[in-house]
A and B are shown apart, each in its own frame.
Chain A
Amino acid sequence: MITDWTLWLEWFIKAAVLIFALLGGFAYLTYYERRALARMQTRVGPNRAGPFGLFQPIADAVKLIFKEELTPAKAYKFVFFLAPIITVVPSIVIAAVVPFGRSVNLFGREVNLYLANINVGVLYFMAIAAIAVYGIVLAGWASNSKYAMLGGLRSTAQMISYELSLGISLIPVILLGNSMSMVDIVEKQNGLWFVFLQPVGAVIFWIATLAEVNRAPFDMPEAEQELTAGYHAEYSGMKFALFFMAEYQKMIVICAVTAVFFFGGYLGPGVDRYPLLGPVYMFIKIFVLLFGMIWVRATWPRFRYDRLMTFGWKALVPLSLAIVFITATGILLAEQTNNPMWMWSIPVASVVAGLVPVVTIYQALRRLSYERA
């Protein structure tokens, strides 16, 4: 029983701060992405609205809010209205379990720098991430338009395929952390980040999350050239802005989760003495990981759809199963022999396992090119 009303207040304030941080983060992520993309294309990017174009997100928001909203005449009105909401809510809700730091003393009160430390945080993340696909497929279906429909279906198929390797690639993290709580996983990485123990898992997780948030090179559901923007083709104004918001918030949240699982979360030099450094390290890690996503978008072309499926099912899923096996074996060996050096067999064996699909893909591509010639 919670009798302390200040605890309710604390939760409320933390939730509000988190939501506003995500909304502001979304706005400035679009700015960050546009500037970074522009620099990679030797352009300048938005620099007109305000100093260095910093008010550009505000201008975009004002424009989107005042834009006319259209609902197609033959759309299923209720679902059409509901779909953007179903997409946005999970992207915010995931952030509840992400730890941003240990506890700090604020106003004579011990305040944890996370909203909830539930003991199945990883499962929670997986479950909520999977819900987001409903909004997309419902948007595609309710629009009553063939492009939107195709986009929605593609995204469903893609998300379900990559959800699998996403989930399996998290099992090594759970094994290494010996817990499903995000806070415990972060604390276990004190000294050594899991990305060094399980580099292949980190790569698989990263590829799968790119597919999960529909980012390039996995942006098949919103392929502009083929599907005229896919599932949100019929949306305009604020409803479109909600889809946009969901995508970018998911990017932020997933980068935060990647930081937690593989890059030591809020850990960093000096965080033991000054717990308030935790959110700062978290921010830096999210910033760098987001740069990775933008970088990939600026560089790699989009997958062909059948190859996307082949890659997901024939390369990522077996490989992630293999690294689960390798990680479990490594931990068992280290425990049985009482020699922690056996832990280093995990990254070595994983990299060797990771080379197998690389070589196989190369051979498959070469076979294809012989067939063509």
Chain B
Amino acid sequence: MSALEPAVELARGLWVTFKSMFEKPVTIQYPEEKREVRKRFRGRHELHRYENGLEKCIGCSLCAAACPADAIFVEASENTDEKRFSPGERYASTYEINMLRCIYCGYCEDACPTEAITLGDNYELSYYDRRSAIYTKDMLLDPVPATAMLTPQKTEEGVFTRSVPEMENPKD
């Protein structure tokens, strides 16, 4: 009955679509239900702190230099033991990322000597105007751990002299 083949094939196509009506929809109801991102997903940047509350960022601008899209602007200032933001000599007094320029390549992450900046899992970035696309330091900075103090801290003299800490190689 191969002459009926075209008609049979048409009917088979209809059967496929009919069958799929009873499958479970693949839709994820987005605002209520969110899919977990992958382990190495590159979303919005986060600036991290040490456990004692000091910022990891030392204002070296290596991330800005590594950035292919020229999205990062860093301005450094001097730390003192009276007003200490980060270990070592300097900290970032201004840290801005233009999220419209950023291409989420993660080079800033690679360039950072203190692992201060990482690309997190927040992908819900939207703005009503271009100016609000510039994320400032206080928007990017992690909240202070519960046991620690806010920066700037008043610290003992001669403790936080080393700006780049001892670090292990990354594991994943």
Residue pair A359, B25 in contact (C-beta under 8 Å): no
Name the one of B3, B14, B17, B24 contacting A363, with C-beta atoms under 8 angstroms: B3
CB within 8 Å for A43 and B25 given contacts A300-B10, A361-B6: yes
User: Contact check: which of B3, B4, B10, B20 meets A40 at CB < 8 Å?
Assistant: B20
What are the residues of chain B within 8 A of A361 when measuring CB–CB? 6
Residues of A near B124 (CB, < 8 A) are none
Out of B3, B13, B21, which one reaches A39, CB within 8 Å? Answer: B21
Interface check B36, CB cutoff 8 A: no
A358 within 8 A of B: yes
Decide if A157 is an interface residue (CB 8 Å cutoff). Answer: no
Given the known interface contacts A40-B20, A362-B3, A362-B4, the answer about A295 and B26 at a Cβ–Cβ threshold of 8 Å is no
CB of A44 within 8 A of CB of B27, answer yes
The answer to whether B26 and A43 have CB atoms under 8 Å apart is yes
Residue interface bits A20-51, CB-to-B below 8 A is 1, else 0: 00000000000000001011111110000000
What's the dominant secondary structure at chain A's contact region? helix
The answer to the question of A365 belonging to the interface, with a C-beta cut-off of 8 Å to chain B, is yes
B23 at the binding interface (Cβ < 8 Å): yes
Known: A358-B4, A358-B7, A359-B3. A42 touches B14 (CB 8 A): no
* Interface residue? B157 (CB, 8 A): no
Q: How far is the CA of A43 from the CA of B24 in the complex (A)?
A: 8
Which residues of chain A have C-beta atoms less than 8 A from B5's C-beta? 362
A299 contacts B16, C-beta separation under 8 Å: yes
Select one of B2, B7, B14 contacting A299, CB under 8 A: B14
A51 and B85 CA atoms in complex are apart in Å by: 53
Using a Cβ cutoff of 8 Å, how many contacts connect chains A and B?
47
B18: Cβ under 8 A from any A Cβ: yes
Contact B24 A42 (CB under 8 A): yes
How many chain B residues touch A (Cβ–Cβ < 8 Å)?
A: 20
Interface string of B1-43 (1 = CB under 8 A from A): 0111111001001101110110111110100000000000000
Contact A299 B13, CB 8 Å, known A358-B3, A362-B6: yes
Chain A residues with CB below 8 A from B13, complex form: 299-300
Interface status of A308 (Cβ within 8 A of chain B): no
Residues of B with C-beta under 8 A to A229: none
Q: A43-B27, A44-B25 are in contact. Are A295 and B6 (CB under 8 A)?
A: no
Contact (Cβ within 8 A) B17 A295: yes
Contact with A along B41-52 (1 / 0, CB 8 A): 000000000000
Q: A280: which B residues are within 8 A, CB to CB?
A: none
Interface string of A173-206 (1 = CB under 8 A from B): 0000000000000000000000000000000000
Q: Measured between C-beta atoms, what is the minimum distance from A242 to chain B in Å? A: 30
Taking CB atoms and an 8 Å cut-off, the chain B residues in 112-127 that contact chain A are: none
Q: B2: which A residues are within 8 A, CB to CB?
A: 362
Chain A residue nearest in CB terms to B26: A42
Chain B residues packing against A (C-beta within 8 Å): 2-7, 10, 13-14, 16-18, 20-21, 23-27, 29
19 contacts between A and B (CB under 8 A): A38-B25, A39-B20, A39-B21, A39-B25, A40-B18, A41-B20, A42-B20, A42-B24, A295-B14, A295-B17, A296-B14, A299-B16, A358-B3, A359-B3, A359-B4, A361-B6, A362-B6, A363-B3, A365-B6
